[in-house]
């Protein structure tokens, strides 16, 4: 039951056609695979999938289901941004897409002076411009606003899966802007975990930071995963692949880390619902090479 629920193709900001990802998944021994390209954001100037592309995206996955359905289960999803009064998983065009599940994320925090939503993922000078113009030069205020938006998302428009919970740390290498061990930061994370638990969402353990050498840890970091597990939050491992060769990026390392935390179960979509899967059962698959697995 090797799978990945979060990945991107050329329909949004990934590289390569969906079919390339299916073929790679088959070579690596996957029994199911979920596509979750970035959903269309109805805001001029933001680079995302267009609504017209959305219908093509859905049709392409349906075509691949017909072609590969006897070899692998394929699922339709979108990574849907939460932007208050703009987009969420309950937006009309998202509901109309007929998705199997949804991946929810916050990438944009309020607005720059020109009226454009500000993404904390952007490199400098845009990253610091947002902190300076929106939050008065206060990184803590920005981080607390980020986590408050995640809590608002899961409380009002809960997705099936919460993506890369602490992605806000992407530009904070070596604590450049804030100390992630400070009590205020941990309190913001704990409050957000409480909200996720209350909403019943799954939390992904996202491996992208490791295989791209962005960070040395997952999104979210180990202690957050441990606290989520202690709170009874359902977990799953996703690679957030933007290239087909990354669909199982850092999976073995991360699954071994979960076992060290005594995480015995991850949750996988099986067509109608998410069901539990024993982590120990994945080890033989992850330890072989792609050719051996196939």
- What whole-number distance in Å separates Cα of residue 35 and Cα of residue 49? 14
| Angle of CA points 215, 250, 271, to nearest 5° | 120
Q: Which residues of the chain have pLDDT under 50?
A: 289-294
- What whole-number distance in Å separates Cα of residue 12 and Cα of residue 151? 26
Would you state the torsion angle of the CA atoms of residues 261, 29, 98, 11, taken in this order, to the nearest 10 degrees?
100
Q: What is the pLDDT of residues 45-66, one digit of tens each?
A: 676 788 889 999 999 999 999 9
Q: What is the pLDDT of residues 76-119, one digit of tens each?
A: 999 999 999 999 999 999 999 999 999 999 999 999 999 999 99
Residue 241 CB coordination number (10 Å): 26
The mean of the pLDDT values for the chain is: 94
Tell me what pLDDT residue 283 has.
64
CA 53, 54, 58, 64 torsion-angle sign: positive
Alpha-carbon distance values, 159 to 120, 170, 213, 214, 270 (Å): 21, 22, 28, 26, 17
- What whole-number distance in Å separates Cα of residue 187 and Cα of residue 244? 37
Domains of the chain: 18-293 (3.20.20.140)
pTM of the model: 0.94
Q: Which of 290, 216, 268 is nearest to 101 (CA)?
A: 268
Contact 147, 169 (CB under 8 A): no
Tell me what pLDDT residue 51 has.
86
């Amino acid at each position: 039951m090797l799978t990945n629920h979060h990945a991107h193709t050329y329909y949004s900001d990934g590289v390569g056609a969906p079919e390339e990802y299916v073929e790679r998944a088959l070579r690596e021994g996957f029994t199911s695979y979920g596509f979750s390209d970035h959903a269309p954001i109805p805001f001029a100037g933001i680079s995302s999938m267009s609504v017209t592309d959305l219908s093509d995206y859905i049709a392409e996955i349906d075509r691949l289901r017909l072609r590969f359905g006897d070899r692998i289960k394929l699922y339709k999803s979108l990574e849907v941004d939460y932007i208050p009064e703009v987009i969420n998983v309950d937006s009309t065009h998202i509901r109309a897409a007929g998705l199997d599940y949804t991946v929810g994320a916050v990438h944009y925090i309020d607005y720059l002076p020109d009226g454009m939503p500000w993404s904390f993922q952007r490199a400098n000078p845009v990253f610091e411009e947002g902190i300076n113009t929106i939050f008065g030069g206060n990184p803590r205020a920005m981080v607390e606003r980020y986590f408050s938006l995640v809590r608002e998302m899961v409380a009002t428009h809960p997705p099936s899966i919460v993506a890369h919970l602490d992605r806000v740390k992407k530009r904070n290498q070596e604590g450049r802007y804030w100390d992630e061990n400070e009590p205020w930061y941990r309190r913001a994370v704990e409050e957000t975990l409480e909200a996720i638990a209350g909403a019943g969402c799954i939390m992904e353990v996202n491996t992208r930071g490791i295989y791209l050498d962005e960070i040395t840890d997952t999104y979210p970091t180990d202690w957050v995963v441990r606290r989520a597990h202690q709170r009874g939050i359902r977990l799953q491992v996703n690679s957030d692949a933007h290239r087909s060769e990354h669909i199982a990026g850092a999976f073995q390392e991360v699954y071994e880390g979960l076992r060290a935390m005594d995480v015995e179960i991850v949750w996988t979509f099986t067509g109608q619902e998410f069901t539990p899967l024993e982590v120990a059962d994945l080890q033989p698959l992850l330890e072989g090479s792609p050719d051996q697995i196939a």
